[in-house]
């Protein structure tokens, strides 16, 4: 084994361990255990290395295993995906290695062709206060939201969902009572007063739009959720059903190149706000992705003012939401909230903090 192979395996093992601690601890005992099993297995690390560049290998490998099991492949690993307690670490490693050997071809095919397109509808519960704050800080012109990296476009239907912040239920006009997004307010007072009639129909930009009529494609979205998070799966399914009735507008396009076109085509009598919900790391890479985005938007703002709402880790353990305004090449930005990866909690920062503490 070359030094380079050893180093890249080590690096990938660290990615799986970080994933276990940042994304699985307290949420998915099964994925926590399986991620450690991968980190300790050179064979599984080599398999996971087949993930496309820029894609997170843990989500891809575990998503592929979940996908194959959900399609009915019989294996002793299967019951652990449908019951809550995980196997022991030793057992997990044994079962996962065996499963991956048996299905290596299928796994390779999935991880080398698909990508992490997790469309997390509950993130709308974090975005809504940002929409409200933005709207309340601007004049009455209509707001155009452009969701960049929109996946299936489910978050474009934000005004069709019902929201529950702690005990407060928010029913927007015409919202769907069956898709209820729940968010705990862990700090601050997120603004919730939003006038949906002042938003024009939002648009998504997506390099690989998910065809809502392709069952295999929508099932892959479900496979990307953690097995224990049945509530996440339920919300995803109700949102997919809603989107099948009222398909959101998602344009095939690659950011950042496509952004100039959006800027050029947005009427001057509309405010323009780009939303990047967990897409910056895929579009601009990491670390440093948010900074590269800011440079891009500053340049585009020479043509017209632009607003940005972005959610991601940006180099921090706790995810955050950044709001920024760009005009004539200058920008002003602030961290307005800390939040959950899946939008299950929000801490609204009443004293929005300038984000010079590094946001990459
Ligand atoms: C992790 S998903 C997030 C989806 C959605 N924004 C959400 O929060 O639920 C990231 C999405 O960005 C898309 N993407 C990646 N690179 C892109 C690019 N250069 N231009 C447009 N979309 C991109 C991916 O295909 C994927 O659907």
Identify the pLDDT of residue 100. Answer: 98
- Round to whole Å and give the CA distance between 16 and 20: 6
The CA R_g of the chain, rounded to the nearest whole Å, is 21
CA distance 220 to 212: 11
Residue of 41 and 85 predicted with greater confidence? 41
pLDDT, tens digit (0-9, with 9 covering 90-100), for 316-345: 989 999 999 999 999 999 999 999 999 999
**Mutational pocket test of ligand 1: of 54, 145, 151, the residue with most ligand atoms within 8 Å of the beta carbon:** 151
DSSP 211-277: -TT-HHHHHHHHHTS-TT-HHHHHHHHHHHHHHHHS--EEEE--TTTTHHHHHHHS-TTSEEEEEEE
Per-residue pLDDT for 241 more than 90? yes
* pLDDT computed for residue 5 by the predictor: 80
CB-based contact 317:325 (threshold 8 Å): no
Stretch 97-112: mean pLDDT: 98
Q: Say if ligand 1 is within 6 A of residue 293 CB.
A: no
Half-sphere exposure of 261 (CA within 13 A, CB side): 11
Residues of the chain with pLDDT > 70, as a percent, come to 97
For ligand 1, atom 16: residue with the closest CA = 283
Residue 357 confidence (pLDDT): 42
The residue with greater pLDDT, 197 or 350, is 197
**359: pLDDT strictly greater than 50:** no
- Does the pLDDT of residue 349 top 60, yes or no? yes
Q: Are 48 and 26 contacting, i.e. CB atoms less than 8 angstroms apart?
A: no
Three-state DSSP class for residue 76:
coil
Mean pLDDT computed over 77-82: 93
**What does the pLDDT read at residue 360?**
37
Region 34-49: what's the mean pLDDT?
97
Percent of the chain having pLDDT more than 90?
90
**pLDDT at 346 > cutoff 50:** yes
Q: Determine the distance separating the centroid of ligand 1 and the alpha carbon of 52, expressed in angstroms.
A: 14
Which residues are within 8 A (CB) of 179 and not within 5 positions of it... i.e. 6 or more apart? 121, 160, 161, 162, 235, 238, 239, 242
Which atom number of ligand 1 is nearest to the Cα of residue 152? 27
Q: Is 115 in the pocket of ligand 1 (CB under 6 A)?
A: yes
Best substitution site from 279, 292, 343 to test ligand 1's pocket, by max atoms within 8 Å of Cβ?
279
Q: Which of 258, 276, 282 to mutate to test the pocket of ligand 1 (most atoms within 8 A of CB)?
A: 282
Determine the distance separating the centroid of ligand 1 and the alpha carbon of 279, expressed in angstroms.
Answer: 5
The pair of three-digit structure tokens given for residue 100, joined into one six-digit string:
């991956």
Query: Which tokens in the block code for residue 188?
Result: 């601050």
Whose structure tokens read 């809504």? 128
pLDDT tens digit sequence for 260-272: 999 999 999 999 9
pLDDT at 130 over 70: yes
What tens digit of pLDDT does each residue of 191-235 get?
999 999 999 999 999 999 999 999 999 999 999 999 999 999 999
Residue 358 pLDDT > 50, yes or no? no
pTM (2 d.p.): 0.91
Q: Which pLDDT score is estimated for 353? A: 64
Contact 304, 268 (CB under 8 A): yes
Residue 85 reports pLDDT greater than 80: no
State the pLDDT confidence band at 301, using cuts at 50, 70 and 90.
very high
Q: What is the mean pLDDT of residues 16-42?
A: 95
Q: Where would I find the beta strands (DSSP E) of the chain?
A: 143-148, 162-165, 168-171, 180-187, 203-206, 249-252, 271-277, 306-312, 320-327, 330-339, 345-354
Q: 205 in ligand 1 pocket by Cβ < 6 Å?
A: yes
pLDDT at 4: 80
List the beta strands (DSSP E) in 278-343: 306-312, 320-327, 330-339
Torsions phi, psi for 144 (to 5 deg): -110, 115
C-alpha span between 9 and 7 (Å, rounded): 5
Q: Of 4-13, 106-115, 165-174, 347-356, which range is least confident? A: 347-356
């Amino acid at each position: 084994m070359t030094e380079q192979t050893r180093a890249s395996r080590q690096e990938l093992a660290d990615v799986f361990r970080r994933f276990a601690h940042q994304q699985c601890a307290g949420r998915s005992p099964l994925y926590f255990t399986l991620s450690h099993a991968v980190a300790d297995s050179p064979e599984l690390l080599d398999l996971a290395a087949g993930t496309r560049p820029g894609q997170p290998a843990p989500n891809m490998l575990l998503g592929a295993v979940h996908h194959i099991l959900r399609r009915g492949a019989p294996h002793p690993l299967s019951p652990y995906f449908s019951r809550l307690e995980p196997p022991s670490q030793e057992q997990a490693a044994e079962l996962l290695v065996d499963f991956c050997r048996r299905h290596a071809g299928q796994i390779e095919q999935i991880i080398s062709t698909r990508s992490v397109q997790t469309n997390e509808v509950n993130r709308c519960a974090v975005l809504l206060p940002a929409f409200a704050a933005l709207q309340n800080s601007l004049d009455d012109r209509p707001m155009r939201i452009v969701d960049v990296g929109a996946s299936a476009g489910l978050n474009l239907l934000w005004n069709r969902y019902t929201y529950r912040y702690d005990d407060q239920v928010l029913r927007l006009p015409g919202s769907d009572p069956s898709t209820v997004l729940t968010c705990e307010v862990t700090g601050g007072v997120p603004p919730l007063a939003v006038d949906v009639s002042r938003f024009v129909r939002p648009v998504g930009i997506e390099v690989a739009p998910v065809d809502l009529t392709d069952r295999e494609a929508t099932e892959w979205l479900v496979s990307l959720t953690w097995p224990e998070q049945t509530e996440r799966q339920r919300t995803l399914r109700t949102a997919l059903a809603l989107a099948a009735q009222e398909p959101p507008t998602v344009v095939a396009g690659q950011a950042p190149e496509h952004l100039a076109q959006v800027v050029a085509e947005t009427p001057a009598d509309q405010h323009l706000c780009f939303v990047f919900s967990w897409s910056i790391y895929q579009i601009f890479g990491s670390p440093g992705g948010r900074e590269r985005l800011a440079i891009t938007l500053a340049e585009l703002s020479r043509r017209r003012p632009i607003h940005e709402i972005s959610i991601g880790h940006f180099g921090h353990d706790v995810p955050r939401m950044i709001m920024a305004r760009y005009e004539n090449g200058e920008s002003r930005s602030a961290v307005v909230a800390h939040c959950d990866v899946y939008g299950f909690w929000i801490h609204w920062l009443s004293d929005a903090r300038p984000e010079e503490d590094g946001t990459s």
